[in-house]
A and B are shown apart, each in its own frame.
Chain A
């Protein structure tokens, strides 16, 4: 079945870049997502990438996809304290209803 793996914790200094990594197993994954979850808040979709793309940039966010290695990363430039949250990687097939999530990476940004 589908599986999505992430490292659990990342700590960076304010102003540095953060890179959160994710690997997935389902070769039929068509859409790869990054969600943000802040304490007491719901899941917020940050960005997504279609499987035929290698890279997607959206302001401070850069998503890189290596489909051969089934590896996805999220780079946050100029990380701010407000970026401290849990970041979830998720995948979905083309016609699938459900998304499969990783267990999240807790990003801590130190001033």
Chain B
């Protein structure tokens, strides 16, 4: 257990529905990251926050995806109008510091299945 928690751990939804995931980082960590991992591939970067500011978004993050970190603590990732291609493991990570090594601690992930 790294100290990063994600909720829910599993989500099954029907195509077209909206889903929201939550990530609680390690409490003193100022950076929070979202990645997506599909079967047989490595994690792909989606977006990251420094405190409450969203500093970078991947081209993978279409306009159906939105992430927030309103108070610089927990974060939510919402997917609107889900598609079957959104089925994946959504990983959250957190780190402390700006620049440098800044080890990222990963949560257990939320597995999304879109039927």
Contact = CB atoms under 8 A, between A and B. Distances in A.
B33 A97 contact: yes
A42 B109 contact: yes
Interface in B76-107: 91, 93, 99-101, 103-107
Given A41-B108, A43-B91, A97 B44 contact: no
Q: How large is the interface on A (under 10, 10 to 19, 20 to 34, 35 or more residues)?
A: 20 to 34
B106 A43 contact: yes
Given A4-B42, A42-B109, A103-B42, A97 B56 contact: yes
Interface of B is mostly: loop
A98 to B, nearest CB: 4
Interface string A82-108: 000000101000110111111110000
Given A42-B91, A42-B106, A42-B108, A94 B100 contact: yes
Contacts of A102: 42
Contact of A95 (B4, B45, B99, B107): B99
B69 interface: no
B101 A31 contact: yes
Interface of B: 2, 4, 31, 33, 40-45, 48, 50, 55-56, 58, 91, 93, 99-101, 103-109
